[in-house]
Chains A and B, each alone.
Chain A
Amino acid sequence: MAPRPCAVLGIGQTKYKRRRDDVTLDGLVREATLRALEDAGATFDDIDAIVIGKAPDALEGVMMPLLSLCDALGAIGKPIHRVHTAGSVGASTSISAVNLVESGMYDTVLTVAYEKQSEGNATWALSGGKSGGQGAGGTFAPWIRNYIARSKAPEHIGWMVAVKDRLNALKNEYAHLHLPDISIEKVRESPMLWDPLHFLESCPSSDGAAAMVLGNDDIARKSGRPPAWVISHAKRTEFGQFPGRDTVRPQAGVECSEALYRKVGITNPREQIDCAELYVPFSWYEPMWLEGHLIAEEGEGWKMTDAGDTELGGSFPVNMSGGVLSSNPIGASGMIRCLEAANQVRGTAGEYQVPGAKISIGHAYGGAAQYYAMWMVSSELNPVF
């Protein structure tokens, strides 16, 4: 049997903030969930199964929180399960939910991802609760330096990404950071956190939740909502450390995108895909992923950024919503990439809509750049490439 077609029929997001001091964990996930249901024209009764995702439980100090959130998610009497694949989890969760629909076993699936980082401390958690932790930036900085050395990219590329994503975020009411006076100078003058990464080249720590209602082709037809068809998805994982590992261009990332494109016959992603939401928590990962996911040739990714191709209005817009650099509730960040890609092909991206976008990708990575999850969405069920 072929996989049952699956479409995104409803999208919900919370406002992302440093601290959502007005809600409980229940309230946070319900805010996104109720918006997704409303957007899909659905109610809790329509949901056949739920998939929930978030990063480590120690970020909020609640163990296996689906158990305490299931009432808030209307899951009583239903299947609900929890995905955890580090930073990639939001996208992995989205893909797990697609699997449920594609299996033919569940017609309508709710998927929710969240993080309430203000309850704990992400650097503490990344350090295993120990003093002297390296954190994400400390881990990635040497690899970024290697990318710069390998690609001969000029230092302003990182600053450009930092500015571009924050300008995009001004068009997104849900984005955490709204920095209207962001500029290359401000980024360059902001404190150096981990050479070469400045403060303004790094993601914030956010509270927030994201949710989607997915349905099969029958449900999509009945709903009357604009569908974003999930025409391809892929995941790949590799070890974090081993002799011969390429940390600049990890093989798992390359193979993940190859699998994503192969499934639908994409041979020239740069031309055949209209825009992308890539997981860029540190500015330099934009060019690194353009190359690492085969959108640009090796050594050419930074030239796309430099030429303005990745701007909203450029030839290959990246992170139209403002990206992880503007909002980062870790466990939800990957799902936000997926649902923002869906927003583009549904034509529901508002002020940051790429005109006429038909094909878009959502992407996340996690761990020591070792977990990859990607999906491709289309305004048509069977696009021809």
Chain B
Amino acid sequence: MPQLHDVDYTLEYPYTRTTGPVIGPFLTGLRDGRILGQRCGHRVLCPPMEFDPDTFATLEPDLVEVGPGGEVENWTWVGEPSAKHPFDRPFGFAFIKLDGADTALVHAVDTGGDPEAMSTGMRVQAQFRSERHGSIADVYFVPEADAAEQMIEPGDEPVTITEHLIGLRINEPLHPHRARFAQGLLDGKIIGQRSPVTGKVYVPGRGYDNMSRVLMSEADEVEVSNVGTVVAFTELNPVQYYGQTETEPYVRCSILFDGTDQPVIGIDIRDMTVDEMRVGMRLRCIWRDPEDRSVTDIDNRYGNIPETVYARFKPTGEPDVPADELKEHSW
């Protein structure tokens, strides 16, 4: 089996959150160096909630300052912080009942890395970070004795929207059939999988034939022609979302390679305009020079025949295939 790259990407987006009538003032308070709780009958809820947690009745926004001191009601020690944690050294997470509040806030306590300093009933005090954005992460806690005096400059506008870069890193080897397909492209070959049940040829193979619900292996793999027929195309005006690197309109098409039964979708056609494209048009894949080919865009889900392996798709000059012969392959 070829040894190719591992799949390694982060599914990531800078989400924005609108903060509403209760969380908004709470986050504004944190930015301004104050912790606020929401009144709920005779109680004060911190973290604040928009509704009574017992009756679920909506609460009118009514925020009152709590803390900055509080008492630890429960705790656990994080020996190996994750990338999403507020500290990169060991710290405690704790239930902190702030002075003046009736419910506890979950937050991080920095004891300088010492788990022995944590205990139920210990007094802690809020410390505010020098850079604050209106986030729960603007604040953290330390043992009361370690608390420093802080002068916090309040901000101007209320916090109504916050940004959060949220992602999950995905890291795994290419699945064996994906690796063989990718290696084929590096070798200038298009590898498909022929269903042992129906004989239909799929490119790229998925490691199974979904129509017959049968797994497929290397034994089912076949090299297919690099000449095919356009069965569908579309011009895309790239939406400028986070991570989008495309800026100009371009054509994507689906090509049914000769001898196969399902088109390869999403093939990038850069040197033809949409006006030059026709369903039924015959195209040949012209490979890049071997040293210029790269398959690093192929992962276990995305990437069929990436433009990093071919120089272009060139019209063969053959007559178009009549559209009704392609009816079975409209994607």
Chain A residues near B (Cβ < 8 Å) = 19-27, 30, 34, 44, 58, 60-61, 71-72, 74, 116, 118-121, 123-124, 127-135, 138-139, 141-143, 146, 149, 193-195, 239-248, 368
In the complex, are the beta carbons of A142 and B330 less than 8 A apart?
A: yes
Name the B residues within 8 Å of A368 (CB-CB).
331
Q: List 29 A-B contacts (CB under 8 A).
A: A22-B21, A25-B17, A26-B20, A30-B50, A58-B11, A58-B13, A120-B13, A121-B239, A123-B241, A127-B241, A127-B244, A128-B11, A128-B301, A129-B12, A129-B13, A129-B243, A130-B243, A131-B243, A134-B252, A134-B266, A141-B234, A142-B232, A142-B233, A195-B234, A241-B262, A242-B210, A242-B211, A243-B211, A245-B330
Distance in angstroms from A249 CB to nearest chain B CB is 11
A187 to B160, CA, bound (A): 35
Q: Which residues of B contact A146 (CB under 8 A)?
A: 330
A132:B234 contact, CB within 8 angstroms: no
A329 to chain B, nearest CB (A): 14
Assess the B330–A135 pair: CB atoms within 8 A: no
The number of residue pairs between A and B whose CB atoms lie closer than 8 Å in the complex comes to 144
For residue B50, give the distance in angstroms from its CB to the closest CB of chain A: 6
Contact A71 B328 (CB under 8 A): no
Find chain A residues with CB under 8 A from B301 CB: 128
- The residues of A that contact B245 with a CB separation of less than 8 Å are 131-132
What residues on B are CB-neighbors of A124 within 8 Å? 13, 241-244
Q: Is B274 part of the contact surface with A, judged by Cβ < 8 Å?
A: yes
- Give 9 nearest A-B pairs by CB, closest first: A24-B20, A142-B232, A124-B241, A74-B56, A61-B166, A123-B239, A61-B15, A131-B245, A243-B261
Interfacial chain A residues near B261, Cβ < 8 Å: 243
Q: Check B50–A24 contact: CB distance below 8 A.
A: yes
Which A residues lie within 8 Å of B12 (CB)? Answer: 129
Q: Which residues of B contact A (CB under 8 A)?
A: 9, 11-13, 15-23, 49-51, 53, 55-56, 58, 160-161, 164, 166, 200, 210-211, 232-239, 241-246, 252, 254, 261-262, 265-266, 268, 274, 301-302, 323, 327-331
Q: Are B18 and A23 in contact (CB under 8 A)?
A: yes
B301 to chain A, nearest CB (A): 7
| Cα distance A34–B161 in the bound complex, in angstroms | 24
Is B241's CB under 8 angstroms from A143's CB?
no
Give Cα distance in the complex from A231 to B262, angstroms.
40
Is A194's CB under 8 angstroms from B302's CB?
Answer: no
A123 to B268, CA, bound (A): 18
Interface residue from B19, B21, B235, B302 paired with A195 (Cβ < 8 Å): B235
Please give the distance in Å from B44's CB to the nearest CB on chain A: 17
Contact between B50 and A247, CB atoms less than 8 A apart: no
Bound CA–CA A194/B239 (angstroms):
12
Could you tell me the distance in whole angstroms from the C-beta of A69 to the nearest C-beta in chain B? 12
Apart from the given pairs A131-B245, A132-B238, A241-B265, 18 other A-B contacts in the complex at a CB distance below 8 Å = A24-B18, A24-B20, A30-B51, A71-B49, A118-B16, A119-B16, A120-B13, A131-B243, A131-B244, A131-B246, A134-B252, A138-B234, A141-B234, A149-B323, A194-B237, A243-B329, A246-B327, A248-B330
Q: Closest residue to B236 on the A side, CB-wise? A: A138
Q: In the complex, what distance in Å separates the CA atom of A121 from the CA atom of B238?
A: 13
User: Are the C-beta atoms of B331 and A247 separated by less than 8 Å?
Assistant: yes
A193 CA / B235 CA spacing, docked (Å): 8
Q: How far is the CB of A205 from chain B (nearest CB, A)?
A: 10
A242-B211, A243-B200 given; A138·B58 CB < 8 A: no
State the CA gap A71–B301 with chains docked (Å). Answer: 36
Contact between B235 and A194, CB atoms less than 8 A apart: yes
